[in-house]
Chain A
């Protein structure tokens, strides 16, 4: 405990905790919709795109890689959700294609135009997040916080619409809801969350952050509002405890958080079984 308090003296630890909480909150909110819309893997696909974009930013030697990564990811999210409806290449195949493609190009670019002496380390930390959460500058923390707050506000304002579009898109459309517009909104929010979450857990582990809290909450609760709230709470608790464990024991941040998420899912699953039902 003393060690923890000692660590909290450092501003970068406090920043990491703040950002971690905000990101996990955002990702859990949208996670419920993604899981129910059968888009669980979109997080994975988009994060690989973000990795590719980050490689481009690194090659171009941009100091603030957000400028490249965010628009590229948003664009891919829109494309992916669009193709879901009326495409020659079906949704899951499109995601697989874009994600591995971006991953390969990202690594290729980083290799060819390497600017750093420790390439493997760089790649590893982008993929698994390792310590980048602890090296955030106050500016990045602020940007992260603002984006997170925007995501949360948009989610609350559009909560009923997101529910309607998730539960029954055809009905929503037929009765005059602008379902395409809200799908677009969902895609954009997801892309923003993915880019933010890369700092926390790295590209490869983002899906876990998005889907585990939602799946855990769905084991226990049976209505949309409760599932959403529970998923947000679980996600924040898991991320916080994951980060604290990793600070105390020196394990990698991203994988520790995901490990806690998995453990909580197991607990929820058993709790769901005991409570009866499926």
Chain B
């Protein structure tokens, strides 16, 4: 079942297009990794998928029973959050805001779900701690718990492991992959091509040449081979 269909999408700033004629489909349960060089428009694409930016042209349709307020998002951290006085619970609860509509306060069911999501992400014992006092990995898990409050269907992640050490990075990938096994669709921007080809079911490579297909097709393609070699060489 197609959850997200992108047709002939062009992205960019003002009239300058970065990406043109982009087509791809994300089905329920897919694990899509978006890879590409810096400045190729990965984050712009994600912001467009999230409705934060309007595309220059083209169409994004959400299919199946996916509604606009059922998308979970793990953004890159902002400066504001670095010294924000907020407890873990407050942040996780704020994931429900999109579903609240005009209702001013959270209900019992949402409080229970927030607790479950914190347990699922292993941050339940931090519930009363201040967000800014946590380690980078813990912060990411808190934000992931918040994203889970916003969705049970699809998660968009913008470089979820940037700035984390290798051990925490591995844990994070495991966590995301577990969520995917539980049936949540994953769309992830990644710099880490090795991890992308290990975990993803589909790869979208954007840049001078665009590739969309399954992981195996990507590994067999020319662009995939070249990119893997380059990235592998850097490490």
Q: Are B97 and A161 in contact (CB under 8 A)?
A: yes
Residue B100 is within 8 A (CB to CB) of chain A in the complex: yes
Residue A224 is within 8 A (CB to CB) of chain B in the complex: yes
B150 to A, closest residue via Cβ:
A175
In the complex, A174 Cα to B69 Cα: how many Å? 8
Set of chain B residues within 8 Å of A227, measured between Cβ atoms? 85
Q: Are B51 and A174 in contact (CB under 8 A)?
A: yes
Q: Are A167 and B105 in contact (CB under 8 A)?
A: no
In the complex, A163 Cα to B80 Cα: how many Å? 13
Known: A161-B97, A167-B91, A222-B133. A174 touches B85 (CB 8 A): no
In the complex, A252 Cα to B47 Cα: how many Å? 52
Residue B2 is within 8 A (CB to CB) of chain A in the complex: no
Known: A37-B80, A160-B97. A171 touches B130 (CB 8 A): no
Residue A218 is within 8 A (CB to CB) of chain B in the complex: yes
For the complex formed, measure the closest distance between the CB of A67 and the CB atoms of chain B, giving whole angstroms.
30
A228 to B, closest residue via Cβ:
B85
Residue A113 is within 8 A (CB to CB) of chain B in the complex: no
For the complex formed, measure the closest distance between the CB of A60 and the CB atoms of chain B, giving whole angstroms.
39
Q: Are B68 and A222 in contact (CB under 8 A)?
A: no
Q: Are A163 and B86 in contact (CB under 8 A)?
A: yes
Residue A139 is within 8 A (CB to CB) of chain B in the complex: no
Set of chain A residues within 8 Å of B146, measured between Cβ atoms? 171
Q: Are A175 and B104 in contact (CB under 8 A)?
A: no
Q: Are B90 and A176 in contact (CB under 8 A)?
A: no
Residue A6 is within 8 A (CB to CB) of chain B in the complex: no
Residue B95 is within 8 A (CB to CB) of chain A in the complex: yes
Q: Are A175 and B71 in contact (CB under 8 A)?
A: yes
Known: A37-B80, A160-B97. A225 touches B90 (CB 8 A): yes
Known: A167-B91, A168-B81, A174-B52. A160 touches B98 (CB 8 A): no
Residue B94 is within 8 A (CB to CB) of chain A in the complex: yes
Q: Are B104 and A167 in contact (CB under 8 A)?
A: no
Residue A164 is within 8 A (CB to CB) of chain B in the complex: yes
Residue A170 is within 8 A (CB to CB) of chain B in the complex: yes
Residue B5 is within 8 A (CB to CB) of chain A in the complex: no
B146 to A, closest residue via Cβ:
A171
Q: Are B90 and A163 in contact (CB under 8 A)?
A: yes
Q: Are B52 and A173 in contact (CB under 8 A)?
A: yes
Known: A223-B85, A225-B90. A170 touches B52 (CB 8 A): yes
B90 to A, closest residue via Cβ:
A224
- Which residues 52-75 of A sit at the B interface, judged by CB distance below 8 A? none
Set of chain B residues within 8 Å of A38, measured between Cβ atoms? 80
- Which residues 139-177 of A sit at the B interface, judged by CB distance below 8 A? 156-161, 163-164, 166-168, 170-177
CB < 8 Å neighbour of A221 from B85, B90, B98, B147: B85
Q: Are A174 and B71 in contact (CB under 8 A)?
A: yes
Q: Are A171 and B86 in contact (CB under 8 A)?
A: no
In the complex, A218 Cα to B130 Cα: how many Å? 12
Residue B12 is within 8 A (CB to CB) of chain A in the complex: no
Interface centre among A168, A175, A223 (most CB of B within 10 A): A175
Q: Are A160 and B87 in contact (CB under 8 A)?
A: no
Set of chain B residues within 8 Å of A167, measured between Cβ atoms? 80-81, 84, 86, 91, 94
Set of chain B residues within 8 Å of A221, measured between Cβ atoms? 85
For the complex formed, measure the closest distance between the CB of A269 and the CB atoms of chain B, giving whole angstroms.
15
Set of chain A residues within 8 Å of B156, measured between Cβ atoms? 174
Known: A36-B84, A168-B81, A174-B50. A277 touches B97 (CB 8 A): no
Q: Are A223 and B86 in contact (CB under 8 A)?
A: yes
In the complex, A166 Cα to B84 Cα: how many Å? 9
In the complex, A156 Cα to B156 Cα: how many Å? 31
In the complex, A225 Cα to B85 Cα: how many Å? 9
Interface centre among B78, B85, B106 (most CB of A within 10 A): B85
In the complex, A38 Cα to B80 Cα: how many Å? 8
Q: Are A176 and B99 in contact (CB under 8 A)?
A: yes
Known: A158-B104, A159-B104, A175-B73. A223 touches B97 (CB 8 A): no
CB < 8 Å neighbour of A168 from B78, B85, B105, B128: B78
For the complex formed, measure the closest distance between the CB of B48 and the CB atoms of chain A, giving whole angstroms.
11
A-contact bits for B52-63, CB 8 A (1 contact / 0 none)? 100000000000
Known: A221-B85, A227-B85. A164 touches B94 (CB 8 A): yes
20 pairs from A and B in contact (CB 8 Å cutoff): A160-B94, A160-B106, A168-B75, A168-B80, A170-B47, A170-B52, A171-B73, A172-B94, A174-B52, A174-B75, A175-B71, A176-B70, A176-B98, A177-B97, A221-B85, A222-B130, A222-B132, A222-B133, A223-B128, A224-B85
Assuming A168-B75, A175-B98, A177-B98, what are 5 further A-B pairs, CB within 8 angstroms?
A168-B94, A175-B69, A218-B85, A223-B85, A223-B87
Closest 3 CB pairs of A and B: A176-B69, A176-B98, A222-B130
